[in-house]
Structure formats: C-alpha cells, structure tokens
Structure 1
Amino acid sequence: MSQPLKTTSYCNLLARGTVQSGEEIYAIEKIYIHDLQQEEIRFAWYKEQDGKIRFVPRPLDLPEKDLFHLIAHGFESGVFSDEFRENLKRIV
C-alpha cells in the first residue's frame, strides 16, 4: 500500500479524484477502512468556505456531465484498480 494522502481514525485516504464547481468539491476516493481492513470507493462532497474545505455528510448528487468528469479524474488519479478497469470494459 502506498503512502496515504490523509489518515484519520476511520480510514486512510489512498487516492482522490475531484471536480470543483464554485465552492462545491465533488470527490471520488479510494479509502482503506481500518475496522473492516478493506479498501472501498467513496463518493464525497466538500464545500470550500473562507479558504477551508469542509466535508458535507450528505449524499452526492450531481449532473451526469460532472459525474463523467469525476469518474475520469478518478481513473487518472489511481482510484480504480486495473481489475476494475478490465471489468468495466467488459460491461461497457
């Protein structure tokens, strides 16, 4: 496992792809959950206010165009494994 981007008591943030729209930041993140001892993919929403980025504990709703860009940035940022990429190719 590579060096985490961030570590909390809940998880290690391993990779992150983001799209920003105004003060809203949409993220797709590869995280390692400490208690479950497994990697997971998380969709997250952050707000930037007064130079600080704050996590918003709500579902991430976004237009299809932004979802496409977010997933693309997730691929570029290493959020998805090679196995996931190959499986996705098969269904697309």
Structure 2
Amino acid sequence: MIKSTNYCDILKEASIENLDKDCKMAIEEIYINDLQRKEVRFTYYKLNENGNYKLVIRPLDVTEDELFELFQKSIKNNVISNSFAIKIRQTIENTKVGNCLDQPFNDTDYCRFYARGSFLSGDFMCTLEQIFIKELDRREIRFGYYKKNKNGNFQLVTRPLDVTEDEFIVMFKDAIENGVFSKIFITALKTIL
C-alpha cells in the first residue's frame, strides 16, 4: 500500500510527471473503504511547497500520447492486472472504432466536446471524452464524473474519476464506438496489452 486516506487506500500507482507544470498524472489501483471494493482512479497530483505531490480535486485531462504512456506504466507496475489488460484488449478487438464528430456537440468557456463514451449508474455518469481545450489549443481525453443536478441534467463534478474494472470496460467500449480515440491510439494501445 502506498498511502491510506479516509476515502481510500492507494494500493498501486503508475504516473508520469510534467515538470513544466509541477504536476504528475496517475492511474491508481485503490480500495474504497466505505464500498469495500477495488477501483481504478485517474488523477492529477501537484507539487506543493515542500516538494511533495498532493492530490488535485479535478478531472484528469491527458493527450493520447500521455494516456498511452500512462497505460504502458500501469501495465508494467501491475496497476492494470493481466486479466484487466486482457479485457481491454478483447474490447478493442471486438469494437469498431467510431468517427469523432467534426463539429462539437457542446461548447463551454473552457473546452469544446467532440466525442463521449459513458457508463451510467443512477444519478451518476462516468465518461471518457474527447475535448478541445481552448487555452492550450489542443485535443485531450478527459476522465469525467457527472452527477444529475436538481433540473435532471448531468453536471461535471470536479473530482478524479474512479471506477471498477467492469465499469471502465463499459465506458471504454462506448468511447471507442463514439470516436473518442484515434485509430492510431487504439492500434498502439493494443500492441502493449
């Protein structure tokens, strides 16, 4: 175990650092204490004044290259187990890669949304989204967590996404079908699984 908090125990981690932004991006295997189950979490950490990384409460946005590197390290560090890697590979092999929209389906001050894969559970929606971040002038993949508001609309919750392996597979399959990932990324990912 790497660390224990009131919410979860961090069992394993794979991360890549972005020293220009004093942060690291991570995929973690965590154990949720209240639910008594293992999940996979996609998150950011920021360097604090003491030189230690502290969890950032926000969704993870990464380029496909960064996501590929995170998957590679997650497999190497066994954050993504052999059985989970096999499920991901089978999902890739059995799912037709969809085309991303040319026009965004939503536009906010921060970004434009071009594609989404999701997993619904009651009032919650977990997503993999292809977004264009205006300030950075680039497309990224967002790991989002949404909750229905009082009007019945899904609203982004600023927190890291954590899901079970089975929930991830449903969301990942939907993301492939809806064009969240490029064909190049899917082909490259398949080679390391």
The TM-score with structure 2 as length reference comes to: 0.44
Q: Deviations over 1:31-66 (max 9, x none)?
A: 000100000000010111331212110111111101
User: Could you tell me how far 1:71 is from its partner in structure 2?
Assistant: 1.1
Task: Provide the residue aligned with 2:27 in structure 1.
Answer: 28
Bigger CA radius of gyration: 2
Matches of 1:8 and 1:60 in 2, distance apart?
A: 20
Q: Aligned with 2:6: secondary structure?
A: coil
Q: Aligned with 2:84: secondary structure?
A: helix
| Structure 2 counterparts to residues 33-48 of structure 1, below 5 A | 33-48=32-47
What RMSD over aligned residues (CA atoms) do the two structures have, in Å?
A: 1.1
Matches of 1:61 and 1:85 in 2, distance apart?
A: 22
User: Could you tell me how far 1:75 is from its partner in structure 2?
Assistant: 0.8
Indicate yes or no: 2:86 matched with 1:89: no
Structure 2 gap segments, 5+ residues each: 93-193
Matches of 2:12 and 2:89 in 1, distance apart?
A: 21
Higher relative contact order (CA closer than 8 Å, sequence separation 6+): 1
Once the two structures are overlaid, the 10-residue window that deviates more, 38-47 or 73-82, is: 73-82
User: Could you tell me how far 1:77 is from its partner in structure 2?
Assistant: 1.0
- After TM superposition, what 4+ stretches of structure 1 lie above 4 angstroms from structure 2? none
The TM-score with structure 1 as length reference comes to: 0.89
Q: Aligned with 1:61: secondary structure?
A: strand
Q: Aligned with 2:60: secondary structure?
A: coil
Structure 1 gap segments, 5+ residues each: none
Matches of 1:59 and 1:88 in 2, distance apart?
A: 22
Q: Aligned with 2:57: secondary structure?
A: coil
